[in-house]
A and B are shown apart, each in its own frame.
Chain A
Amino acid sequence: MGEYQPSAIAERAIGEYADRVIHQWVGRLSYSERQAILDEVRDHLFELMAEAVESGVSEDEALATTLTEFGDPVDFAQGYLEGRGVKYPDTKVKRFLTSSFVRAYLYFIVPGIVCVNLFQAMALDRRLDWILPATVALTILGPLVAGFITGWSIEDRFLRCVRQAVFLTTFVSLVSGLLLWPKIEGLVLAATMIGLWLPLGCLAAAGGAYLRQTYAWKLRKERSQRRVEEEAAETRPDRHFVSAIREAL
Chain B
Amino acid sequence: MDDHAEIERELLRGNVPLLILATLRDGPMHGYAIAKEINRRTGNSLRFKQGSLYPVLTTLENNGHLAGDWTFTGNGRPRKEYSLTPLGRIHLAERLSIWEKFCAAVQFVIQPSH
Q: Which A residues contact B (CB, under 8 angstroms)?
A: 2-3, 5, 33, 36-37, 39-44, 46-48, 51, 69-71, 75-76, 79-84, 217, 220-221, 224, 227-228, 231, 236-237, 240
Q: Are B75 and A76 in contact (CB under 8 A)?
A: no
Complex-state Cα separation, A82 to B56, whole angstroms? 10
Interface set, chain B 66-114, CB cutoff 8 A to A: 67, 69-70, 73-75, 77-80, 85-87
In the bound assembly, the distance between CA atoms of A48 and B67 in angstroms comes to 24
> In the bound complex, how far is the Cα of B85 from the Cα of A40, in angstroms?
20
B residues less than 8 Å from A47 (CB atoms): 32
Residues of B within 8 A of A (CB): 30-32, 35-36, 49-52, 54-56, 58-59, 67, 69-70, 73-75, 77-80, 85-87
**A224 / chain B contacts, CB cutoff of 8 Å:** 69-70
> Is the CB–CB distance between A84 and B58 below 8 Å?
yes
Q: Report the Cα distance A198→B77, complex, angstroms.
A: 35
Which residues of B lie under 8 Å from residue A227 when comparing CB positions?
Answer: 69
User: Are the C-beta atoms of A79 and B78 separated by less than 8 Å?
Assistant: no
Q: Are B73 and A71 in contact (CB under 8 A)?
A: no
Is the beta-carbon distance between B30 and A71 smaller than 8 angstroms?
no
Q: Are B51 and A70 in contact (CB under 8 A)?
A: yes
Instruction: Please name all residues of chain A whose beta carbon is closer than 8 Å to the beta carbon of B78 when the two chains form the complex.
Output: 39, 43, 217, 221
By the criterion CB–CB under 8 Å, are B77 and A40 in contact?
A: no
Task: Please name all residues of chain A whose beta carbon is closer than 8 Å to the beta carbon of B54 when the two chains form the complex.
Answer: 37, 40-41, 76, 80, 83
* A39, B80: Cβ atoms closer than 8 Å: yes
Q: Which residues of B contact A71 (CB under 8 A)?
A: 49-52
A40 near B51 with CB under 8 A, answer: no
Q: Which 6 A-B pairs have the closest CB atoms?
A: A83-B55, A71-B49, A2-B74, A76-B51, A47-B32, A71-B51
Query: In the complex, what distance in Å separates the CA atom of A23 from the CA atom of B32?
Result: 23
Complex Cα distance, B32 from A197, in Å, reads: 45
Report which residue of A70, A71, A84 has the largest number of chain B beta carbons within 10 angstroms of its beta carbon: A70
Taking CB atoms, residues of chain A closer than 8 Å to B49 are 69-71, 75-76
Known A40-B30, A84-B55, A84-B59: A2·B75 in contact at CB below 8 Å: yes
What's the least CB distance linking A55 to chain B, in Å?
13
* Interface CB pairs A-B, < 8 A, 12: A2-B73, A36-B80, A41-B54, A43-B30, A44-B50, A69-B50, A70-B50, A75-B49, A82-B55, A83-B55, A83-B59, A228-B69
